[in-house]
Amino acid sequence: MKNKVWFITGASQGFGLIFVKKLLEKGHCVLATSRNPEKIVQEIGKNENLLAVKVDLSKQKELDKAMKQCFDKFGSIDILLNNAGYGQLWTFEETSDEEIRKCFEVNFFGTLNATRAALPYMRQQKSGHIFTTSSVWGYVGDPYISTYAAVKFATDGWTEALSHELENLNIGVSCIKPGGFRTNFLESTSMVTGESKIEDYKTARDAYFDGIAKFNKQQDGDPEKYCDFIINLTNKTTKPPLHIFTGRDAYKKAETKIANLKKDMKILKKEATNLHVK
């Protein structure tokens, strides 16, 4: 198995940190970005195959510089893992414009910035794979995730379109849509809620977030197995698929939506497909 060079965003906690540890154990090279790269070094220690770099994902120049550091040190950029981000859960009406734009800036535009920085190297190599971490909430909309769903639906659509643009360049693209995994996603370090409160939403909203609090660390998914699964996909002779749902709950949600989608399409099919110019 050829050792690969991975560029990982958001690598100081959660999935990102687990990926870094596992990849280094397997002998791969990793450039790991974070706003606090010292946390990565504290967790892992010094390793000649690790380069931990401070990066603000909203700043294209910082990502361009980090990508060059990665290429100069390790000689290639084989895998880009867009992992950085945070959850924004609240009702839409109670979420401010500023909160929504910040969520897009980090979760969506940060992903675009990292990918923009990686593509020149992958085009030069005529190889590479881009994994973008979305969410099952990027395919299925649930209550109280309107902002997060908007970001992840946008990520899903962008990834799908990008995959077609890059397929002739031998650059693969995958959008990962995880369900619930026992990371710190539901804790304050990774998930924020709104500050505004409207009385009409209070009873249902409070009940939902009480449930979320009890669900933390009770999720079905094992993050160690998740990371092993993604890493193993890169060792196969065929490129990973575009859409990757991970977790039993993600599959259940997606399959339910697909069934409902087919049902809705069937109801109106005769009328909706009779709108053409005669």
pLDDT reported for residue 26 = 96
Q: How confident is the model at residue 185 (pLDDT cuts 50, 70, 90)?
A: low
pLDDT in tens, 154-165: 999 999 999 999
Q: What is the mean predicted confidence (pLDDT) over 34-39?
A: 92
Domain range enclosing 215: 5-253
Tell me, yes or no, whether 275 lies in a domain. Answer: no
Q: For the chain, how many structural domains are there in total?
A: 1
- Is residue 265 in some structural domain? no
65 is catalytic: no
Is the pLDDT at 18 greater than 70? The verdict is: yes
> For residue 209, is pLDDT > 90?
no
Mean pLDDT of 138-158: 94
**For the chain, what is the mean pLDDT?**
92
162 occurs within a structural domain = yes
Average pLDDT for residues 185-193, to the nearest whole number? 64
Query: What is the band of 178 on the pLDDT scale with cuts at 50, 70, 90?
Result: very high
pLDDT at 189: 58
Mean pLDDT value of segment 180-195: 69
Whether residue 152 lies in the annotated active site:
yes
The mean pLDDT of 224-252, rounded to a whole number, is: 95
Over residues 106-129, the mean pLDDT reads: 97
Is residue 34 assigned to a domain?
A: yes
pLDDT interval class at 260 (50, 70, 90): very high
Select which of 12, 34, 134, 135 is catalytic: 134
Is 270 an active-site residue? no
Least confident of 173-182, 211-220, 239-248: 211-220
Q: Is residue 261 part of a domain?
A: no
Q: Comparing 5-14, 60-69, 130-139, 205-214, which segment has the lowest mean pLDDT?
A: 205-214
CATH of the domain at 52: 3.40.50.720
Q: What is the pLDDT of residue 241?
A: 97
Domain contains 212: yes
Residue 270 lies in a domain: no
pTM for the predicted model, two decimal places: 0.92
Q: Which of 34, 148, 177, 253 is catalytic?
A: 148
Of 21, 152, 177, 253, the catalytic one is 152
Residue 122 binned pLDDT confidence (cut-offs 50, 70, 90):
very high
Residue 23, in any domain of the structure: yes
Q: Tell the burial category of 127 from Cβ atoms under 10 Å away from its Cβ (0-12, 13-18, 19+).
A: middle
pLDDT of residue 221: 83
